[in-house]
Amino acid sequence: MVRWDFDLAVIGAGSGGVRAARLAAEAGAKVALIERGRVGGTCVLRGCVPKKLLVIGAHFAEDLADMQGYGWNVGDATFDWARLIAAKNAELARLEGVYGRLLRDAGVTLIEGRANFTDRHSLDVGGRPVTAERIVVATGGRPLLPVIPGIEHAITSDQALDLLSLPKRLAIVGGGYIAVEFAGIFNALGVAVTQCLRGDTVLRGFDQDVRATLAEEMAAKGVGFRCETVVRSIEKGAGGTSLLLADGETLEVDLVLYATGRRPNSDGLGLERAGVAVDDRGAVVVDGFSRTSVDNIFAIGDVTGRMNLTPVALAEATALVDTLFRGRPRAMDYTDVPTAVFSLPPVATVGLGEAAARARGAVDVYLSRFRPMRHSLSGRREWTMMKMVVDSASDRVLGVHMVGADAPEIVQGFAVALKCGATKAQVDATIGIHPTAAEELVTLRDRVTDE
């Protein structure tokens, strides 16, 4: 009988890898978790958590301005970027310690180093051989930079989280969620932000009313947009950095941040020696049970390129452990997964957008735009948009979309309703909590007419 060093070896100590290792160990497996850097991965160290902390910090600029409408004399408030970054780093260190303790308490063996497959059951970790009956690849992803002249002068979201000082002028290249989130952060802190994007507006793939509303609100807050444009080259000089655009114009800034997508971290692992297939993007190919082309090797999280969200990676890890070690085999369910964009203002959505829903059949659309009660005294010209997409035949709610304050907190509850198959009639029968923004979603009555 073959004896392996471990029942399970997990490569990558991000959210998905830590969850898989910990739960498998708690289920009785002998588990190794291999990580070449810090424990925590993209979400804890370079993504969701530090970014949200910066968003909160930046939003206080608006809070301070709004307080005056409510009788507060604020005085001369000042902002210290270095203090915010130091506080953020201290919190990340605390969370890394929490992760480490959870792993130790579960009995997981943490091995530091870069893993490299030598065959389907064997890994080389910095010269140390490690064998396992099953192996999980959970190595996440990294920012993707285009090949253009001068790209070495640009930074990515990784470096943006640890800038030593704020630039006066910033160009953000990209129109996705990372781009709009950093645009909101830096703009609120007084940086002159210009966002350059290939498309006609932000957040490609989201509902069109969400896209239009967010772009309008960001522009109203002072973010500049260069839409349907491409950066051809970047030059750095004594007076700043110059971007040459496709139309021949130049954009002069102090710093360039690229947020044009991410790539799975699959290269350099020796996957080919184990026979693991990847697609043309470098994503590890898996089936519904997260199994790769090799039956004892699995992959979860961003390295698979399926749905790059931390809660999805956690759910994939839980489903995998249920399948392998708890005798409850099940595939991951990717329907009606809610998501949020922590822009200023924030976006949250669950289910189908209007265009996707109409492609499936007849729908009824309900939409509301209103000025939040908070701004009746603050004087801020900020609007909230809420939208509901309903199947005409069954009355089932297919999608809920919101742009505005507290959108992620509000839509999370509606995600439960969609999972339960809620109908518009059931939403209508729900009593709202007054006065709140959330009650608007249970009082939508007038359908949007087709043009």
Question: Residue 427, Cβ neighbours under 10 Å: how many?
Answer: 20
CA distance readout (Å), 281 to 46, 97, 196, 264, 332: 22, 34, 24, 8, 22
Q: Which residue carries 């941040």 as its tokens?
A: 257
Alpha-carbon torsion (293, 294, 295, 297), positive or negative: negative
Q: Are 348 and 338 in contact (CB under 8 A)?
A: yes
222: part of which helix (H) or strand (E)?
Answer: none
Nearest Cα residue to 162 out of 77, 46, 65: 46
Alpha-carbon torsion (298, 302, 306, 311), positive or negative: positive
Q: Which amino acid is at 283?
A: A
CA distance readout (Å), 115 to 18, 21, 123, 138, 437: 16, 16, 6, 11, 49
Helices 48-67 and 81-106, axial angle in degrees (round to 10): 140
| Residue 59 known to be catalytic | no
* Active-site residue, selected from the candidate residues 59, 375, 401, 434: 434
What are 336's two structure tokens? 């009606």
State CA 84 to chain mean position distance: 21
Q: Are 386 and 401 in contact (CB under 8 A)?
A: yes
Q: CA-based diameter of the chain, in Å?
A: 77
Alpha-carbon torsion (51, 56, 62, 65), positive or negative: negative
Q: Are 99 and 15 in contact (CB under 8 A)?
A: no
351: part of which helix (H) or strand (E)?
Answer: strand 347-351
Angle at 381 between CA 377 and CA 382, to 5 degrees: 100
φ/ψ of residue 123, rounded to 5: -130, 150
Nearest Cα residue to 143 out of 47, 224, 1: 47
Q: Which amino acid is at 186?
A: F
**Burial classification of residue 185, based on how many CB atoms lie within 10 Å of its CB (0-12 exposed, 13-18 middle, 19 or more buried):** buried
Nearest Cα residue to 443 out of 390, 345, 434, 213: 434
Catalytic site positions: 434
